[in-house]
Every structure is written in structure tokens, then in C-alpha cells.
Structure 1
Amino acid sequence: KEAEEVMNELVEDILVCGHTHIPYAKYYGEKLLVNAGSVGKPKTNKPDANYVIIEISDSNVEVEIIEVSYDFEKMAKEIEENEILPNDFARLIRQGSSK
């Protein structure tokens, strides 16, 4: 509902955002909302990083969601060794999450 309200007020044709860590593309009428995903702490139930490629031509917009494997275990161990970051972040890096 909030996304729909934002898109109704948007002057531009395409809005690219993040924050939810869930990659997607969705049209609201003629306007396109794209969430770029997450390089760390994904919410796709997989530890892979993800990002989007947007190709714009005169008559078409294509959004491709890319998943990339990386050494998430190294990142998780560094989080566990850090005195400031919560260890739960390491679990989220290893597993991904749906929340």
C-alpha cells in the first residue's frame, strides 16, 4: 500500500530503491518500482548477494535480477570476531532470511 502511494505521487517513470533487501520489479500503472536487492544480509532465504541490471531502450525497460555467490563464511566469521556487531548478523549472512 505504501509503495503504491509513493508511485502515485512519483513524477519519474522508474524508481530504484533498496532497504527491504528483496530484489524485485513491479509496475504500478505505467511506472516501474525496482528494488535492487542486497549484497549482504539478503532476505531471499539464500546467502547469495543479488543486484539488478536495468536496460532501457526507446520502447522497452528490462530488469534482470542477478544472484552472485561469494565467500559469505569469511564475512560471517569477521562479524563474530567484531565486538560491536551482534552475532545474529553472522547467522543472517550465512542463511539469508525471509524477514
Structure 2
Amino acid sequence: MKRYIIEREIPGASELSQAELAEIAAKSNSAVESLGVPYRWITSYVAGDKMFCVHEAESEEAIREHARCGGFPANRVTLIANEFGPQTAGNAST
């Protein structure tokens, strides 16, 4: 599956309570189950008036269908080209 980052514009997102986030997570889980295609929610980050979610799916269309089923915005969906972190520095070829 391909990995995508989804940018969701949600005014007041950083003010959502843990109970509200749990409700959103339950809606997302139900939406995933209803899709009938391989799909995996990896994690989400809340920053200001946005959520940045990392999901795995076969296509952008599946990402957008998940958003539609869950009632979430998907303002920007971007295919992740590569991943790296601090450990990557030790893998450099000379």
C-alpha cells in the first residue's frame, strides 16, 4: 500500500478534548471498516487549526472515500515519496 499524508483544516482543532478526539477516532475506525478495501490509519497530529494524518491505502480515491464516509475534510492529500529520520544518517553510502 502507498502512504499518504492528509491535511485537514479544522478550526479549533488544537482545542479538541480527549473525548472529542476519541469520538473522531471511533468515526475514522468505522469508516475504515466500511471501505471494503485495504486501508490503514497510522497516526494523526494536531497543530493549530489543522490535523495531519498518515494513512496507508492503494489510492488517493480510497483516502477521499474514507474522509467522505467519516465526515472529515481532506483539504490536501499527498503521496509520501520517502521517509527518513535521525537513524538515516548512519545509512549514508560513501
Shorter-chain TM range is under 0.3
Question: Which structure carries more relative contact order (alpha carbon 8 Å, separation 6+)?
Answer: 2
Greater radius of gyration (CA): 1
| Higher normalized helix content (fraction of residues) | 2
TM-score, normalising length: structure 1: 0.25
**TM-score of the superposed pair, with normalisation by structure 2:** 0.26
